[in-house]
Homo-oligomer: A and B are copies of this chain.
Amino acid sequence: MENCKAGDKVKAIDIAHIDRGSKVRKKDLVVQEIPLTILLNGTEVATLLCSPEKLDFLIAGYLLSEGFINRDTKLGPIDVNPKGWYAQVTAEGKVTLFDGPARTRLVTLGCGGSLSFYRTIDAPGHELLSSSLRISCHKISEFMKEFQSRSVTFRKTGGVHACALCDENKILCYAEDIGRHNALDKIIGECFLKGLSLQNSVLLTTGRVSSEILIKLLKAKVPVIVSRSAPTSLATELAQKMGITLIGFARGTRMNIYCGESRIDTNDKTPLKT
C-alpha cells in the first residue's frame, strides 16, 4: 500500500496510452482500493475491499446490514488505523458473531464486500415494507441529475459507484465507493450513527440492482430505490414481495418502474431544468 495516504480517493500513476498503435506516456488517475479488516469486540469479522473514505459509516452500515448488530446495539468509537487498514469497534447489547455453520450459507454479490445470509430471503413471512412516501417522477429526475453531477471521483477515474439518500425534497447524504454494496452501506451507516430514519426516503444508485441490494434496503426499511442501471430478475421479484418501489434506467426524464408504481406520481410534468 505504498503511496497510499489515508483519505486519498484517487492516485496518479504512470501509464502508456495507445491510440492506433501510437504510444504516449502520461499520468492517469486510478481509484484507490484498500483492504479494510474489521474487528468487532476483538473478533475479526470481515475484510472489505473499499474506497478509503467514510470508513466509520461503512463499518457501522456493514455490521448493521449483515446482521452483526441491530438498531438497538450501542456502538463504541470506531478506531480506524490507516497504516494497516484495520478498524476496531466495540459494541454493547445485541451482537451476533457468526461462527461455523451459520456462516456457510452466505452470499456475496456485487461490487463491494458483503456477506448476505440467504436465510433472509428464505425466512418466511417477511413483513411488507410500509411507507406513506409518494414522490413525482419529475422530482426523481431532478434528484438523479443532481446526484450524477456530484460524482467527481467517477468522472475522474470511471471506477466508483455512488449512492445518495433523499427525502421528498432534497438529497440528504451521498457516498462513493469502488463497491456498490459498500456505497449503500456507507449511507445506511451514516443514518444509523446520526439516528436518522430511512422510512420515508428514496435511495439513488449508479449501480445495478441485485437481490443483495434489495435485502439491505429491506433491513434498512428504505421504500424506494432508483438506479441508473439495470435490475436483475431476483431483485424485481424481491422488491415485489417486500413492497419496495424499484426504478431502473433512470436517465434524463426517462425511467422504468419495475414495481411499486403506486408511490410514483406521474402527474407532475414540469420540464427538467437544463
Contacts and interface: CB of A to CB of B under 8 A. Distances in A.
For chain A, give the interface size range: 35 or more
A123 interface: no
A223 interface: no
A157 B13 contact: no
A134 to B, nearest CB: 15
A17 to B, nearest CB: 5
B107 A35 contact: yes
B44 A231 contact: no
Copies per complex? 2
A185 to B, nearest CB: 12
Contact of A99 (B28, B100, B115, B229): B100
24 contacts: A13-B233, A16-B256, A18-B137, A19-B253, A20-B253, A21-B137, A22-B269, A30-B258, A37-B118, A44-B105, A46-B106, A48-B108, A49-B210, A49-B234, A50-B109, A108-B108, A109-B111, A110-B111, A158-B230, A158-B249, A159-B208, A159-B232, A178-B210, A178-B232
